[in-house]
Chain A
Amino acid sequence: MNCVEFRCLQNEYLDGRLSNEQRNEAEEHVRTCSRCRTGVELLLLFRRSLQESRSAAPVALESLVMGSVNRALQRESIWKEWVTRLRNWKQHWELKFLFSKLVAAPVTMFFFALILAQFSSAPGTAWYPVYLSRADSTLNSDSVETLQLSYAPMAEFAENSSIIPDDSFVVLTRLNKDGVPTLEKILVAPNHELLLRLYSNRMEAIRCRPLLLNGNAQDSFIIVPYQKISVVG
């Protein structure tokens, strides 16, 4: 082993990480080469000096550590106490509000039932909008009630333009699968398409009450005079 090779393995040699063969070669080289031996001896001197100058921890460290640990324990106990208090407080208030919860639940359910009943009433008792103009137009519900329109069962309506008066148009409504009357068709007198388009662009909506026959809603038609349509704008 020459000096260059030894310097490459010097740290492994000092840390005892060489194989027996390599260590023997390194030791042989250290014995013969004064320069490498000095280098190794310096590092061993450094190591030995570090070991010998190892100092004991100051006595004050124990009191400092134990003091800080005790303070940490105290803080922890205070924290635990607050958590317990908070838990107790929560349980207390939960009990206090249990009664009000028991009361509030049925009352809320009653009001929900009322609202649902309002919306889910049987056909024939509520007004259903039949849009004649743009689908996104606003409903004008105030004027609908006063229309006083005549309904007739669909069966009586012959799809014949001769029954359509000149001053009116006809709205055909059919019950859908949910029993809700929906607009099927609008019929106008001949040569009145322009007039209807003019109105339909300006009117908001018309609501049709489904015709009741023996208490059941059914398909119907309605004759709507142009004059009675609620017109906005």
Chain B
Amino acid sequence: MAESTISTNADLLSCYPETNHPDDALVEALRKGETAAFELTFRAYKNLVYNLSYRILLNREDALDVSQEVFLTVFQKITSFRGDCSLKSWLFRITFNKSLNKRKWWNRRGKSRTEPLTLLHAERIGNGHRDRPDVSCLSHEIEHLVRGSMEKLPVVQRAAILLRDLEGCSYEEIAEITGTSIGTVKSRIARARAAIQLDLGNSLRGRMP
């Protein structure tokens, strides 16, 4: 692992997706019931919503259901959006709540809907390492391990670490999305990272000479 990967704050935080849309105008248009505005919102946020729900639920079908419900809720309840947070945070809050509800729904029926590790989805955004089969293979291997570590985390810790490390939300935003205090968010992220460090370290030591 290269030493340059941990050089500055900018490097540490450069990997998050750019999702700065003119939310106010979009929300205003959504409130008026403009279909074009809804389509724009859908296109801008569909990947974020789908990825978050998929990473929380670890099941594609459920993530698809949840994403559909999220956007339907946005369409129907946009008038109840007070505008005290960004549209992205509001979307994440709905996604988080609906994902948790979905999980509880399955838990009540005593079933686990987590997909087996062999089923990794192929539709990647960005760096797929198509020209480097060796890198791609290593990346898949690490992805398996990461996913294995994620599965072992409690769902609230998983959601917190996803919102931080996948979506790049600030602690304040995560607290707002999950409906908890910043202290709770910090504690969840710290515990999740400690568990991931331990689990990933053990897994890598076991696989690599």
Contact = CB atoms under 8 A, between A and B. Distances in A.
Interface of A: 10-11, 14-16, 23, 27, 30-31, 37-58, 60-62, 64-65, 68-69, 72
Nearest to B204: A42
A69 B165 contact: no
Nearest to A14: B12
B197 interface: yes
A43 B1 CA distance: 12
Contact of A44 (B5, B60, B125): B5
A62 to B, nearest CB: 7
Interface stretch (B18-26, B96-104, B110-118, B141-149): B141-149
A61 B5 contact: no
A51 B166 contact: yes
A46 B7 contact: no
11 contacts: A11-B193, A45-B146, A52-B124, A52-B143, A53-B143, A55-B47, A55-B123, A57-B47, A58-B64, A64-B64, A68-B72
B75 A45 contact: no
B149 A46 contact: yes
Contacts of B124: 52-56
B190 interface: yes
Interface in B1-49: 1, 3, 5-7, 9, 12-13, 15-17, 38, 42, 46-47, 49
A69 to B, nearest CB: 5
Given A16-B13, A64-B64, A40 B6 contact: yes
Interface in B156-204: 162, 164-166, 171, 186, 189-190, 193, 196-197, 200-201, 204
Contacts of B67: 57, 61, 65
Given A54-B166, A55-B47, A58-B64, 13 more contacts: A15-B164, A27-B6, A43-B196, A45-B1, A46-B146, A46-B165, A49-B139, A51-B16, A53-B124, A55-B124, A65-B72, A68-B71, A72-B72
